[in-house]
Structure 1
Amino acid sequence: MDKDLRLDQKTRMYIQNARYLALAAAISISCGANAQLLHNVTIGNPKALALGNAVTADPPGIDSIHFNPAGLAKIKGRQMNIKILAAHMTLDAEFGEPTRPDSDYKQLYYNLVQNNPDICPDANNADECWGTDPIANTSSSSDGPSLMLPFFGMTEIPILAFPSGGIAFEDSARGWTFGTAVYSPQGIGYRREDGDPAASVNPGDPGGYQGVGVGVTRLTYFSPTVAIPVSETLSFGVGINFSYQGLAMDTYIRAPLETTRWLETINEILPDEDALHILRPYDTVGRLSVEMEDFLSVGFNFGILYEPYEWLSFGFLYQSETTSQLSGDYKMENTESFIHTAEGLGTFELLLPLFDGTGFHATPIEEGTVELEYIMPQNIAFGTSVKVLPNLKINFDVRWVEYSVWDELEFEFSDSVDFLNLSSVIYSVSGLKDNADPDAMRIRRAYEDTWSIAIGAEYQLNDNVVLRAGYEPREGAIPSTSADLLFPIGDADLFTAGFGWQMSSTTRIDAAFGVLYSEQNIAACESKNANSCQEGDVVYNPYYSMPFKTETIAYIGALSFDKKF
């Protein structure tokens, strides 16, 4: 009788927990929160890293908050976690010989500028007047890490290292487990050798036209999560994440594709073509730097963990889309050559509105505020964990990420920017998709949704030590038609290994190391984000008709300390 009573009480507790879970899920969804992107490499959990991130059905302790919130239900009592992630990344690129323009294209340019002594004073023919691209047959490499940090902005750091942690405790009366953690779902940043890439003396890195420095950071600082067992084999979990999102970019700008068709149109309209100072094809236009952030970006995670047998488990994870309303400052430093161009367009000012343009500032520096709506795509993961031998467990995950929401990034400026003003006119004349307004810049991304897998193995060496290894072939979200040097990552392979050491009944240490490798080989004119040959496609193709290769290697290490108290 007492046994039946205990069973009935336990059943009622599970039913009650299921009701509470449904309420919690409804509240989290009704918050209108949008989810975080699954950048598992930067979470810094050694178990997940060592298993190639195949942990949806084998969640890693307190970091289940990110990988599968239902996994918190496996934590008994009170537990704390301290961890550190360290990484080193190299980004290398090689540029080939431009395949264009052809002789007719060069002759058109020569005809437009041959009477201008400032453009081709010593040129005897079209080839000499057009000039040679200083980036051709050169190479680029990153010079160290940078990060966009809250309160500090874009910051150069000697090494990418990030300490974090979390805490969880079980409510034994209800069977719930609560937890929160600090972690970084997204963190990437680099810098290249500073300097104008086109300078004749001490030129900067050739990759500087798509990032002298770039930093993207998402830092989750509060992630209240609850996991509720609804039976002895089935648990649910849901959590809300409060995050900081920051983005910084510092880049030189040039526009080889702005010197033909639109110049013909303007020269037909202007009364005196000599009044217009025309940019040389490979002149640097200027240097644009932006820093933006949002201190309150909210999302939620939902997970299920089903363990029908001691040797078999299944997991499910959903992370919602998040939208960050980034805002900050911009600074555009114009070169002397471009300032002369803007000054020359003053005689064209009355007609500029007909071509979606406005008046030019023609000043060395343009400053103001800038805004960007930055979306992190939703993602789903399914996983299974099978103990194939008494001491050997195999994990397998399948993951989908909706990267197609990154179709373009639209920067909205508080005032018109001369380069964008000119670009807007060019797009109007060329009839292409308009990527620029006088006060807005739309950087094309055109990324693709991805399906990827991950596999991990864990071997129980003895009662206290486990050995782990993993492999994750990451399908690239960036097709060759969208490749660039801003984020030079295509298809990638992640190889990992690590171990766990149960020092005592209350103390555990885990460690892992991983290597991520990615390369791309982009033919001339293939990418609409870097080397397009479509005349008038100004924003943004600085490596006109130039083939390039990229190689990205990241070394990641993680160490954690877990303690029950």
Structure 2
Amino acid sequence: MQPAVRLLAAALAAALPAQPALAALVENLTTSVTAMALGNAVTADPPGIDSIHFNPAGLARLTGDSKIYSAFGASIRTGAAFHKPEGFEVGGWTDDPVAGQRTGPVRQAMYVPGYGMPGWRLPGVIIPGLGMAFNKPGSDFTFATNSYMSQAISIDRTTDPNDPARFDGRQIQLQRLVYAAPSIGWKYSDTLRFGLSVPIAHSAFVVDTHMRFPNELLGVFGKLQQGWCPESGGNIIDTFGFGLCGGGRDGMVTPFKHAASMRLQMTAPFDPTLNLGVLWEPRPWFALGAVYQGGSKTRYTGKYQFDTQPMLRNFVKGLNSSLFGPVAGAVLGLPAYIPETQKGNLSATIPFPAHLQLGVKLRPIRYVQLNVDASIAKWSDWNALTFEFDQSVKLLEVARLYGIADSTKLKIPRGYKSLVNYGFGLQLFPTEKLALRLGYEPRKSSVPADKIDLIAPLPDTKLYSVGLNYKFSPHSDISLTASYMAGKFDTPANTDCNMNCNKFLNVIYNPYAGLDVAGDIKVRYAGLSFTHRF
């Protein structure tokens, strides 16, 4: 026992002095009412049945049988403003209609397993949960299960059809709903406990976005058309040439037009992972805890649909209606045509990152307890996301001009990081029945400043929480929590190649090329849980 204890203490000591870094993304935001109240710093003081997620060794502290009923409501508000800097130009074009605009209202939704995305849009979502634990009198083992949301972000900007953010995510839904979590806690001794849980999750990933491609090459093509093509359409010289004008007025290329729309909707209905925890409580006033939450290479399957606007369809049609256009198209790998709608099946392997969290609990006097946690999640696995289609996507064949060789795949760069993050929780015990809770979590984002975009508008944020627990009797208690998280980002033009780089071949994906983009995010949370022991 002593070597294990020394190893745990050494690991915790190494983590706590580390420099603040990029770590938090969407983990632990909606998982537990008690944990939220304490800044998610509960590894060394696991919260009852919610220990299944935060440290399953905490289950071994439970005696008898118990149930927990929980519900939370959460709303996400995010906005962005677009500014045209001095000297703005994209391939000769100097007026971007998005410049000077600000994004509109944001709503939430939830992916319903077995049904999909409902049509309603709400100012927030309400999610229930149910957990159970079983311990026979005198047994060193406790068995439990729970349902909870371990990961979630929901952004819906479809209320305003002209919202400028529609080019970088009209609707984004990422959620991981644990619907069962068979778990066991083992009381090895009065001071040392171990735990294991197997969360089984339904994961959903939805991206619906309009697309435009403001980059230098497309701008040059558009200016060439302006100088060569008459307003009425093609000319006889062009017909015997490369067909730049053959698409007519609708086929005139500009870098700022709505070019296409994309919807990807995927699920992974059965995705188990593994949580391992240890809890050492040598004194009533001092404890150390550690949990390893295993990741997975989650395999998603689902449907896709691409809708292409007349600009690209007519441009390709005109090119292939000329004498030399088909030759040029074949050399460049361009399609012979682009359908208005193309849909089918897709798949993707999107990692669910592994997560390690270490914590310490200090209760120097009966009335005050302090929790401090350090954690790391492996978001570096999200360096790039690759989506695989069941056929060659004609719209992506156009991207061969930009060096995208395989039109059966779409690779979206992310470049996320995984380093260390912290959480702090304070509990006050004015009476035997009442506990007051305060939480603070400075969530340094896993999205570097030069990788942020409106699909994942997650800058560094600060999470503030208040809550309480009231014991009605030895058999029942209630917990209440309210939390607020906020952060801002300011991304000057050409500093973020996930959003606003203006380079010759930056087609995937910089919809606000050359613009300054500044934005914010605010998350409001309220939760309630009721525990009954019997």
Name the TM tier (shorter chain).
0.7 to 0.9
Instruction: Could you tell me which runs of 5 or more consecutive residues in structure 1 were left unpaired when the two chains were aligned.
Output: 1-10, 12-36, 107-129, 197-203, 428-433
Q: Residue in 1 aligned with 2:53? A: 66
Q: Distance in 2 between matches of 1:353 and 1:42?
A: 51
Does residue 331 of structure 1 match 2:305?
yes
When residues 75 and 153 of structure 1 are mapped into structure 2, their CA distance, relative to the original with a 3 A threshold, is same
Q: Distance in 1 between matches of 2:160 and 2:460?
A: 31
Q: Distance in 2 between matches of 1:482 and 1:256?
A: 18
Q: Choose which of 353, 356, 364 in structure 2 pairs with 1:377.
A: 353
Q: Choose which of 368, 379, 401 in structure 2 pairs with 1:425.
A: 401
Structure 1 segments, 4+ long, off by >6 Å, are: 261-269
SS of 1:338's partner is helix
Deviations 1:11-53 (A, max 9, x none): 9xxxxxxxxxxxxxxxxxxxxxxxxx9711111x222111111
CA drift of 1:416 comes to 2.3
CA drift of 1:191 comes to 1.1
How many positions carry a matched residue from both structures? Answer: 490
Check the 8 A contact 2:56/2:276 in 1, yes or no: yes
Q: Residue in 1 aligned with 2:370? A: 394
When residues 273 and 211 of structure 1 are mapped into structure 2, their CA distance, relative to the original with a 3 A threshold, is closer
Does residue 259 of structure 1 match 2:259?
no
Deviations 1:357-405 (A, max 9, x none): 3534422211111111111111111100000222100000001111111
CA drift of 1:423 comes to 1.3
Instruction: Could you tell me which runs of 5 or more consecutive residues in structure 2 were left unpaired when the two chains were aligned.
Output: 2-24, 229-237
Deviations 1:210-249 (A, max 9, x none): 1111111111111111111111100010111111010111
Does residue 149 of structure 1 match 2:112?
yes
Check the 8 A contact 2:105/2:159 in 1, yes or no: no
Q: Distance in 1 between matches of 2:455 and 2:512?
A: 12
Check the 8 A contact 2:148/2:179 in 1, yes or no: yes
Check the 8 A contact 2:29/2:152 in 1, yes or no: no
When residues 70 and 523 of structure 1 are mapped into structure 2, their CA distance, relative to the original with a 3 A threshold, is same
Q: Distance in 2 between matches of 1:83 and 1:65?
A: 15
Q: Distance in 2 between matches of 1:292 and 1:381?
A: 29
CA drift of 1:147 comes to 2.4
When residues 464 and 407 of structure 1 are mapped into structure 2, their CA distance, relative to the original with a 3 A threshold, is same
Q: Which moved more, 1:288-297 or 1:258-267?
A: 258-267
Q: Distance in 1 between matches of 2:193 and 2:112?
A: 36
Check the 8 A contact 1:51/1:468 in 2, yes or no: yes
Q: Distance in 2 between matches of 1:360 and 1:321?
A: 43
Q: Choose which of 260, 266, 274 in structure 1 pairs with 2:245.
A: 274
Q: Residue in 2 aligned with 1:295? A: 269
Q: Choose which of 92, 111, 129 in structure 2 pairs with 1:164.
A: 129
Q: Distance in 2 between matches of 1:385 and 1:80?
A: 25
Does residue 40 of structure 1 match 2:40?
no
When residues 522 and 131 of structure 1 are mapped into structure 2, their CA distance, relative to the original with a 3 A threshold, is closer
Which amino acid is the alignment partner of residue 486 of structure 2? Y
Q: Distance in 2 between matches of 1:439 and 1:351?
A: 22
Q: Residue in 2 aligned with 1:307? A: 281
Q: Distance in 1 between matches of 2:243 and 2:173?
A: 45
When residues 547 and 264 of structure 1 are mapped into structure 2, their CA distance, relative to the original with a 3 A threshold, is closer
Check the 8 A contact 1:149/1:217 in 2, yes or no: no
Q: Residue in 2 aligned with 1:447? A: 416
Identity of aligned residues (%): 27
Q: Residue in 2 aligned with 1:516? A: 485
Q: Distance in 2 between matches of 1:157 and 1:75?
A: 40
Q: Residue in 2 aligned with 1:140? A: 103
Check the 8 A contact 1:328/1:371 in 2, yes or no: yes
Aligned ranges for residues 23-422 of structure 1 at < 5 Å?
39-43=27-31, 45-99=32-86, 101-102=88-89, 105-106=91-92, 130=93, 132-155=95-118, 156-158=120-122, 159-172=124-137, 174-194=139-159, 204-257=162-215, 258-260=217-219, 271-275=242-246, 277-346=251-320, 348-349=325-326, 352=329, 354-355=331-332, 357=333, 359-422=335-398
Check the 8 A contact 1:154/1:215 in 2, yes or no: no
Q: Distance in 2 between matches of 1:492 and 1:338?
A: 40
Deviations 1:527-556 (A, max 9, x none): 110001121110110001101111100110
Q: Distance in 2 between matches of 1:544 and 1:246?
A: 30
Q: Distance in 2 between matches of 1:90 and 1:401?
A: 24
Q: Distance in 2 between matches of 1:154 and 1:361?
A: 32
Does residue 507 of structure 1 match 2:476?
yes
TM-score, structure 2 as length reference:
0.87
Q: Distance in 2 between matches of 1:414 and 1:193?
A: 28
TM-score, structure 1 as length reference:
0.82
Q: Distance in 2 between matches of 1:397 and 1:519?
A: 24
CA drift of 1:352 comes to 4.7
SS of 1:55's partner is coil
Check the 8 A contact 2:192/2:280 in 1, yes or no: yes
